[in-house]
Amino acid sequence: MDFEKNNRMYSLLGQRGTFGVVLNEMAKENDSIVGISADLTKTSGLDRFATNFPQRFYNVGIAEQNAVAFAAGLADQGRNPFVCTFSNFATLRSNEFIRHFMAYMGCGVKVVGLGSGFAMGLFGNTHYAIEDISVIRSMPNITILSPCDCMEVAKCVEFCSQYDGPVYLRLSGKNNNPVVNKRDYSLRIGKGIVCSEGDDIILYATGSMVSVALNVAKLLENRGIHAKVINIHTIKPIDKQLIMDNKDYPIIVTMEEHSVLGGLGTAISETLAQCSYHGRVLCMGVEGNYKNPGTYEYMMEQNGLTEDKIFERIIEELDA
Amino acid sequence: MDMSLEGRIRKDILDAAKMVGPVGAHIGPSLSLVEIVAAIYKEFNPKCDSIILSKGHGALGLYAVMHQFGIITDEQFVSFEQNGGEFPGQPSRSPNNQIVYSSGSLGMGLPYAIGLAEAKKQKGKVYVVTGDGELNEGSNWEGAMLARQLNLDNLTVIVDHNGMQSDGKCENILNVNIHEVWKAFGWKTVQCDGHSIEQLQCMLKDKTDGRPKVVIADTIKGKGISFMEGNNDWHHCSLSEEKYNLAVAELEETYGL
């Protein structure tokens, strides 16, 4: 596929829309791909897939546990099922089914979590997914992918369509998803990508937060602080080597649209602790109790995840 | 002394339960499903069919049937509940595919079996053994709706309908007429003596007019040993030498040839 040519269209569609378009393209060449929706076909961007491949598309009803178990049965018969629904339902409602079929039995189901983090905006706290990485990360066998932009979504879907193991693909951000990668590149699962170089501070980010991290790096640059920005698209397995190779920074910042407990910040902190890191780790993510909901932008602001808020916290930390 | 197949399977269950000693085993639930699993294996085509023991606590019953049918060896059978072994107290998928489905957590076997059956349409059959207590789990009913929608006539659920669950009689916990419920979900619903291999085979062979089928197999928990029958103390427990001898004597009387 020509990812570069489609990049602008992907960006307008957002990660969810891109997923639907790319899965449809992949299915033309790969008969094993099956789409499964828990009654969110259009919302998942799967209507085109459902129309083009009615024999390979299932709406199992509003029944996420069933979606995962059904997919596991199909996977054990050589199909490659993609179960698509909002991340909260995909990972939390079906959690034990993911553990049983994907982690324990190793069935090659692809769970695609849509609208992760605060992307569901005014749908509110029931629809936010800020615990999803945490609950999946503690289970063995499951690869967790969190693409930073729509081209990376396309590349992750391409990977999933050829991989027979279990994957959780976490889609984040809104429509008009900022472009991080303008040019085509090679995505290596489990290997982080250095987006910009800098010697003073290092910023690790995943999913929607990578573009925010790049903007934070610009604000820091204006203050003469040179930040290195790393895109961690694979949260599990985490790129331990890259983290260990970059432990000579006095401050390491992690950014995720997810709880600070159990997600990217935790994964990086665990690795740093193992290699006797002596600096400070600043985990930017969701903390504390559920807040009254609002729009995506409002929630990002409330949780201190905008570029200005993160910049301020880093400056405070540097001044401390 | 020679015994019928039903007797030999039950003797295997008792032997294994005695062998593992104080760690105990699910004796009652295993004795309940002997004929169900035996009937499935009599109808089973290993090249294309699958058996899913959703009520994982009946594992010892499954292993005993597999042992008597020559699917697993003596050596494998006596590895039951050994540390790190391939035949634990609840089935765990084995690399050589003798056991295809890991179970233990209830209500997961049916929706998984639906995926298998959909992929095997016109190619193979899928049999799922559930407990009646297990039907408390809502995921079964998510699956029941989907299987009907997909017209999976190659899918058969056999409910080990012994009327007991962990805390006592099913009717005292959630009192539901499961026959009517399955019918309401649009399944072909039949009922028979769950301790008659012949009747069960008849039900399994019965054509289903394009719908999935459920066989409600009326059983007795602890079947075959008078002091275990209908007694939940034997759900999971250890078996002393004395009780073992009493139980085997009963088996010889009931199932001796």
A85 torsion bin: left (phi>0), alpha (psi -120 to 50), beta (else): beta
Residue B158 three-state SS: strand
Q: Who among A63, A69, A77 is closest to B108 (CB)?
A: A69
DSSP state of B163: S
Q: Who among B102, B108, B113 is closest to A97 (CB)?
A: B108
| B chain contacts of residue A74, beta-carbon cutoff 8 Å | 115-116, 118-119
Query: So what's the pLDDT on residue A2?
Result: 81
Residue A56 three-state SS: helix
Tokens standing for residue A121: 């905006």
Query: So what's the pLDDT on residue B27?
Result: 97
CA B16/CA B64 separation, integer angstroms: 9
Q: Which residues of A224-244 are buried (b: 16+ CB within 10 A; e: fewer)?
A: ebebbbbbbbbbbebbbebbe
Domain range summary for chain B, segments of one domain joined by +: 5-255
Q: Are B220 and B228 in contact (CB under 8 A)?
A: no
Q: Are B39 and B197 in contact (CB under 8 A)?
A: yes
> What average pLDDT does chain B have?
96
- The reply to whether residue A74 touches residue B145, judged by beta carbons under 8 angstroms, is no
Count of other CB atoms within 10 angstroms of residue B133? 23
Residue A193 three-state SS: strand
Query: So what's the pLDDT on residue A176?
Result: 84
Query: So what's the pLDDT on residue B190?
Result: 97
Tokens standing for residue A237: 């397995």
Ramachandran angles phi, psi of B87, nearest 5°: -125, 70
C-alpha dihedral sign at A35, A39, A44, A50: positive
| A chain contacts of residue B146, beta-carbon cutoff 8 Å | 60-61, 63, 66, 70
* Confidence band, pLDDT 50/70/90 cuts, at residue B95: confident
Query: So what's the pLDDT on residue B63?
Result: 98
| B chain contacts of residue A75, beta-carbon cutoff 8 Å | 115
Residue A8 three-state SS: helix
- The reply to whether residue B143 touches residue A61, judged by beta carbons under 8 angstroms, is no
Q: Nearest residue on chain B to A81, judged by CA atoms?
A: B115
Interface test with A, best of B48, B112, B141 (most A CBs within 10 A): B112
Whether residue A1 is predicted with pLDDT greater than 80 in this model: the reply is no
Of the candidates A234, A173, A237, the residue with the CA atom closest to the CA atom of residue A209? A173
Residue-wise pLDDT for B42-87, tens only, equals 999 999 999 999 999 999 999 999 999 999 999 999 999 999 999 9
Q: DSSP alpha helices (H): ranges in A30-80?
A: 47-52, 64-75
Instruction: Tell me the average pLDDT across A169-192.
Output: 93
Helices B34-43 and B197-205 meet at what angle, rounded to 10? 50
Residue-wise pLDDT for A20-46, tens only, equals 999 999 999 999 999 999 999 998 899
Q: Which amino acid is at A129?
A: A
- The per-type count for chain B, helices as H runs and strands as E runs, is 11, 7
Residue-wise pLDDT for A125-159, tens only, equals 999 999 999 999 999 999 999 999 999 999 999 99
C-alpha dihedral sign at A227, A231, A236, A239: negative
Q: Is A71 on the interface with B (CB under 8 A)?
A: yes
- Which residues make beta-bridge pairs with A227? A201
Residues of chain A with pLDDT > 70: what percent?
Answer: 100
| A chain contacts of residue B110, beta-carbon cutoff 8 Å | 69
DSSP state of B130: E
Q: Which amino acid is at A22?
A: V
Q: Which amino acid is at A265?
A: G
CA A113/CA B195 separation, integer angstroms: 46
- The per-type count for chain A, helices as H runs and strands as E runs, is 12, 12
* Confidence band, pLDDT 50/70/90 cuts, at residue B97: confident
Q: Are B209 and B153 in contact (CB under 8 A)?
A: yes
Q: Is B184 on the interface with A (CB under 8 A)?
A: no
C-alpha dihedral sign at A62, A65, A66, A72: positive
Of the candidates A301, A306, A71, the residue with the CA atom closest to the CA atom of residue B146? A71
Residue-wise pLDDT for A196-205, tens only, equals 999 999 999 9
Query: So what's the pLDDT on residue B36?
Result: 98
Query: So what's the pLDDT on residue B226?
Result: 97
- Which residues make beta-bridge pairs with A82? A35, A110
Of the candidates A75, A33, A76, A71, the residue with the CA atom closest to the CA atom of residue A52? A33
Residues 80..109 of B with a Cβ closer than 8 Å to A: which?
93, 100-102, 105, 108
Q: DSSP alpha helices (H): ranges in A58-149?
A: 64-75, 87-88, 95-97, 132-137
CATH (residue range B5-255): 3.40.50.970
Q: Is B145 on the interface with A (CB under 8 A)?
A: yes
> What average pLDDT does chain A have?
96
Ramachandran angles phi, psi of A92, nearest 5°: -95, -50
CA B207/CA A274 separation, integer angstroms: 62
Q: Are A169 and A129 in contact (CB under 8 A)?
A: no
Q: DSSP alpha helices (H): ranges in chain A?
A: 3-29, 47-52, 64-75, 87-88, 95-97, 132-137, 150-162, 209-222, 240-245, 264-274, 296-302, 307-319
* Confidence band, pLDDT 50/70/90 cuts, at residue B210: very high
Go through the domains of chain A in sequence order and give each one's CATH number: 3-170 (3.40.50.970), 193-319 (3.40.50.920)
* Confidence band, pLDDT 50/70/90 cuts, at residue B17: very high
Residue-wise pLDDT for A273-300, tens only, equals 999 899 999 999 999 999 999 999 999 9
Q: Is B157 on the interface with A (CB under 8 A)?
A: no
Residues of chain B with pLDDT > 70: what percent?
Answer: 100
Count of other CB atoms within 10 angstroms of residue B46? 10
Interface test with B, best of A70, A77, A95, A110 (most B CBs within 10 A): A70
Whether residue B1 is predicted with pLDDT greater than 80 in this model: the reply is no
How many angstroms separate the CA of residue A122 from the nearest CA in chain B?
29
Q: Are B28 and B235 in contact (CB under 8 A)?
A: yes
